[in-house]
Amino acid sequence: QCDLQGLWRNELGSNMTLSALDAAGTFSGSYHTAVAATNKQILVSPLQGAQQHASAKGQPTFGFTVQWQFADSTTAFVGQCFMDHRGKETLETMWLLREEVPSRRDAWKATR
């Protein structure tokens, strides 16, 4: 069974730390990105998420949001935890980043 709690690193050098799930399946943590389109100092940013109830297969889906502390943007991640035959856990995720824009007219370019 996949366990989201702990330290995770991706292939780009970013890392996140996730707390244990509570009874409702929610968790919190922090995300330190190694990739950002900014000249500002990159800061560790808080995250909040939830895991779907574990299925019999033990490879649950989850989602979380990161509130970036160095940019006017928020990112939502969704994914699934997979475990191989040796017990190695891997998170496969997709994300959407929404940055603040000055007007509704600019909304079309605010999401990556």
Q: Which amino acid is at 64?
A: F
The confidence score (pLDDT) of residue 55 equals 64
- Name the fold adopted by 6-109: Lipocalin (2.40.128)
What order of strands is seen across the sheet that includes strand 61-67?
6-9, 15-18, 26-32, 45-51, 61-67, 73-83, 89-99
Higher pLDDT, 37 or 112: 112
The confidence score (pLDDT) of residue 1 equals 81
Residue extents of the structural domains in the chain: 6-109
pLDDT tens track for 43-87: 999 999 999 976 667 889 999 999 999 999 999 999 999 999 998
How many residues comprise the chain?
112
